[in-house]
Amino acid sequence: MSGFGLQNLPYGVFSEPNGERRIGVRLWSSVVDLSVLGGHLAAGSLNPLMAAGRHEWTAAREAVDDLVATEPPLIPLRDVTLHLPFEVADYTDFYSSEHHALNVSQILRPEAPGLSPSWKHLPIGYHGRSATVVVSGTPIQRPCGQLAEGVFGPTRRLDVEAEVGFVVGVPGRRIATTDFAEHVFGVVLVNDWSARDIQAWEYRPLGPFLAKSFATSVSPWVTPLDALATVPPLVQDPEPLGYLLPPGPGFDLRLAVEWNDTPVSSPPFASMYWTAAQQLAHLTSNGASVRTGDLFASGTVSGPARDEVGSFLELTRNGAEPVKLADGSLRGFLEDGDRVRISATARSAGGKQIALGSVSGTVVA
């Protein structure tokens, strides 16, 4: 498949029928079994390799390149099961798209639209539940919760959030933006499923809780940070405080969102206001530590155009303007049986277009 050539080789964890979990890299429509290389690559999770640090990441990559250049042990993707590629320690989700934040304020707070006073001074985020992070393809059960005063039941406004996640390898605290690449191992795609009616009732004054803690899906492939080309970040005004400078690299990823196989949106990651390096610096600025396997996500990726938004809340204006899918049906929010797929492409460090895989899920009652 296009986008999974030699300049990509993302890491994942797979198993064959009745077999143990092993680490592999994706090459076109096959998996290269890396267990033959031994060491950290013979584990059943990426955590040991991620914890080993940049020197070992580089050595592992060289060994992988050498293996792929010979006659690697290829296994067709159709013959394997893909698993969560790393053991998730903690999960933090940010809110770093200015376009998304403005859209949400206009939809959910029409009486007081606009950014909160602190929004352009710090990367706003919330702490999620690592136990409900699941691999792409896992069915998503419609959550229940309080929808209004005296009302409890299944959400009627189930939504998605198309995001990019960053996976921590080396632990640390008070991490400078300049040390971002020494701690972050790679990138995954994230769908932070959200129950908007539960969220609207519960989120003031403390923010998201049960509206988002029921499920977060991630892609099965971790693209190493070194495989991605970087771009200059957006200009930030006002200038952030010193611990958030320099802002660190931006990444020119283009996401694509499909609803029941109908393309509905193409969010541009380069439009994000806060960078991943700033998110990590802020996350650890109070002395909090990160551990191997920590996942922090960008927050919903939304651009300025209607077809560049990363949530259906924005796409359908809270259900008031439903979208028409390829089968002729209209949707405001997700119905049982609906399937969402988020994919992405990026420029590799070598200048080629690569794929970051995809994250998908089907809603069940």
Closest CA to 349 of 197, 227, 187: 227
- Within 10 angstroms of residue 151's Cβ, the number of other Cβ atoms is 10
From residue 139, alpha-carbon distances to 176, 232, 303 in Å are 38, 37, 28
Catalytic member of 40, 99, 100, 183: 100
Please report, for the chain, how many H helices and E strands are present, in that order: 7, 26
Looking at the chain, list the stretches that DSSP marks H as alpha helix, in order from N- to C-terminal side. 47-51, 54-69, 98-108, 180-183, 196-202, 276-283, 312-315
Residues 6+ apart with CB under 8 A from 33: 22, 24, 72, 73, 75
* Nearest partner of 189 among 5, 361, 16, judged by Cα: 361
Instruction: Report the candidate in 304, 322, 326, 305 with the shortest Cα–Cα distance to residue 313.
Output: 322
Please tell me the distance from the alpha carbon of residue 210 to that of residue 49, in angstroms, as a whole number.
33
127 is catalytic: no
Residue 210 contacts residue 154 (beta carbons within 8 Å): no
Helix, strand or coil for residue 235? coil
Active site residues: 100
